[in-house]
Structure 1
């Protein structure tokens, strides 16, 4: 019996562990805990990045680099809040950084400079109001449940599991609502996206909209 207990202790069930438990083990250089986090989240963050970056290889490279750096810098990183929220914020920031580099190639450097200077011009208020109007109009077009899930996640910073408990839904259902909400916003804002993207990159306080 003692031998069996020792074997169990030496072979923890990583799949049953929470994200925070796995991350704590990563700090102790436990590669298997990192492998479990990778298998849980890499497909999800890749789907997220691929919604914005249509070049599959670029999206994969971005996500692989981010996950690799997570392991390399495990001893330096302090994650506040849930691991999933941290990870999706990180991949969102990586996507934004990618677009920062790509925007000059797609819109033209002078156009980007001109757009970024809008914040210093007398037209700032008008463009700011137009950007907000476009966003809120797109938000109102979402179904009530999708809008509710989106607001709980993006405004109240609840994780999918927290939203699921709050609304008495499965976590998978919450994720599906969130995916549908983001898709709906992108469709309804599609024709405005290039201008809004430059505008939002110039004013980081509004980046949570995407």
Structure 2
């Protein structure tokens, strides 16, 4: 085993990538050993969370293996560092959205008692929205989440899910139609709050 590792350690990045595209697990193991710490260090420096950084690094290398025959990578280190940076940014965006939403819900709960009905209406709508999202078909749900919650562009989503931009637009349109139908009965309850805020 050790001689095998020394064997791959002498390979160039280009040779490892070529072998990786041909399902060579030894080449993949060498790429992981060669670069995982640099990739992890970048993620950890930005996130300040070892657990989250490790999770994003594992996801990145899992994607590298699963898409080994589909990707054209010219500079391996540059590719990995850019890719982990994108994942970190996506995670931070999603975390901020969740935090803002939690703050918003907390603020609603401390409103004065005469606003209780409006607060309940918004809580009901929020719950209905989340239920509606969960009921979307799997691919549409994923596209909707990446677009509306992580604010990724159509092109970014298409690349991430390995589909065409038209497919992304189709799933977004489908998701919005289904959610509008699902939430129609809750919109009336929201109107008093909208009026009050305005």
TM-score band w.r.t. shorter chain: 0.3 to 0.5
Larger Rg, first or second structure (1 or 2):
2
TM-score of the superposed pair, with normalisation by structure 1: 0.45
User: Which structure ranks higher in relative contact order (CA pairs < 8 Å, sequence separation ≥ 6)?
Assistant: 2
TM-score of the superposed pair, with normalisation by structure 2: 0.47
